[in-house]
Amino acid sequence: MQAIRVHPAPPSATPYSPTNPAPTTALHNDKIPIPTPTAPNQLIIQIKATTIIRDMLTWPETYHQPYTIPGHDFSGIVASVSPGSTTTLKPGTAVFGMASTDRGSTWASYALVTTDEVAPKPAGLGWGEAAALPLSAQTAYEALFVHAGLPLPGLGGRAKAEIQHHQEQDYQQARQLEQRVLVTGAAGGVGIFLVQLAACAGMHVVAASGSVARNGEFLTELGADEVVEYADLEGQEGRFDVVVDSVGGEVLERCWGLVKEGGALITVDSASFDFVEAHAKRGLRRDGIKALFFIVEGRGEVLRALSELTARGELRSFVAASFGMDRVQEAYDYANGRFDGRGKVVLTV
């Protein structure tokens, strides 16, 4: 099979690492054997599409072993199921999912995954759109419904749409009970799913973006009740039950003041992994607020929930650009630059 692997640095050079990341020229399209299942509940997936995540060549996981195959998101077809598996998935089933964050290996023609890392692909999505969904959407799902503790979206459609069918007086009372969620970096890869999922759950969603002119209409279509620029957050101290940040830096610092007492402040910005401790040392941290950074775990039941929301038309996935495997170096550079498209950069196999 074909696989994109990160080749080691030349013997005379400093070994590649998160602090000395491999250049894109270290990405090679190699021919290697198809992986073999070694335990029950493992699947071989014929990969149709995968994604490129910004800064993947700076991740520690990339250097845990030589010749790593990067990649986590995928869509494809079940090629084989290991003996003794209890899954109902059969060879030929179209699926999507996310390989474990400590394993990866989806930048290839075939990948070995576990049955809890896949779900049937939503029928209405193409391969690229399906591959663009798992990592970012599961991150958003876990931020809102696991770590922030918001109620899950109802099975009957958007909770907010149901509220709007009540009489006006009941509607106004219901609005007062709505929890307010602020999403920073709302037009970004994770932000677009945070907005959609919070709206699905009936939250009052405020989407913060660098430009309302560029992103306002788009974010409103995704379900945002308000779209603001960061300067507009001045004077909104203590307004939000939940703030989910995907920007970090000064924006994250300001978020402490925007959260209500007893609320939650969560960031998914990888550069802010130690923000709670760092901000406490600087006197920014507030007591009485649940604050954390997390790394997505991912699981089959969440993928199935996302698939259902997508099938109902309540969750949309976006592909910013698509590249073939033979253009992986170009694709990685594109994903790490500034581009106008919305959504993920996809690698087709």
Handedness of CA 199, 204, 209, 212 (dihedral sign): positive
Residue 146 confidence (pLDDT): 95
pLDDT at 236 over 60: yes
**Mean pLDDT over the full length of the chain:** 91
Band (177; pLDDT cuts 50, 70, 90)? low
Whether 191 is in a domain gets the answer: yes
- The answer to whether residue 12 is domain-embedded is yes
Last residue of a domain, which of 277, 293, 309?
293
* Shared domain check, 161 and 87: no
**What is the per-residue pLDDT for 124?**
87
Write down the H helix ranges in 53-119: none
CATH of the domain at 281: 3.40.50.720
The least confident of 48-62, 167-181, 308-322 is: 167-181
Q: Are 308 and 314 in contact (CB under 8 A)?
A: no
pLDDT for res 100? 87
Tell me the average pLDDT across 153-174. 46
Q: What is the pLDDT averaged over residues 223-235? A: 96
Answer whether residue 105 shows pLDDT above 70.
Answer: yes
Distance CA 188, CA 268 (A): 12
Same domain, 13 and 127: yes
| pLDDT above 60 for 38 | yes
Query: Which structural domain range is residue 339 located in?
Result: 2-133+317-348
CATH of the domain at 321: 3.90.180.10
Structure tokens at 136: 């970012």
- The three-class DSSP label of residue 6 is strand
Name which of 315, 319, 293 is nearest 305 in CA terms: 315
- The half-sphere exposure of 337 on its side-chain side, counting CA atoms within 13 A, is 11
**The pLDDT of residue 340:** 76
Does 106 map to a domain?
Answer: yes
The answer on 71 and 47 residing in a single domain is yes
Question: Stretch 176-203: mean pLDDT, rounded?
Answer: 92
The pLDDT tens digits for 42-100 are 999 999 999 998 889 999 999 999 999 999 999 999 999 999 999 999 999 999 999 98
Domain boundary among 248, 277, 293: 293
Question: In this structure, are residues 51 and 131 in contact, taking their beta carbons and an 8 Å threshold?
Answer: yes
Question: Considering the domain boundaries, does residue 52 fall inside one?
Answer: yes
**In this structure, are 164 and 248 located in the same domain?**
yes
**pLDDT over 50 at 157, yes or no:** no
Nearest CA to 292 among 236, 242, 237? 242
Which range (94-103, 165-174, 337-346) has the least confidence?
165-174
Question: What is the predicted pLDDT for the residue at 104?
Answer: 77
pLDDT tens-digit series, residues 255-268: 999 999 999 999 99
Same domain? 231 vs 343: no
Residue 243 main-chain phi, psi, to 5 deg:
-120, 125
**Number of domain units in the chain:** 2
| Among 93, 83, 56, residue whose Cα is nearest residue 71 | 56
- Taking the C-alpha atoms of residue 49 and residue 266, their distance in angstroms, rounded to an integer, is 30
Largest pairwise CA distance in the chain: 74
Same domain, 112 and 209: no
38, part of any domain: yes
Alpha helices (H) along 151-294: 159-163, 168-177, 191-200, 212-222, 249-255, 275-281
110-122 pLDDT per residue, tens: 999 999 999 999 9
For residues 110 and 142, state if they share a domain: no
Shared domain for 230 and 263, answered yes or no, is: yes
On whether residue 278 sits in a domain, the answer given is: yes
Inside any domain, residue 21: yes
The reply to whether 273 and 148 lie within a common domain is yes
Q: Is residue 303 part of a domain?
A: no
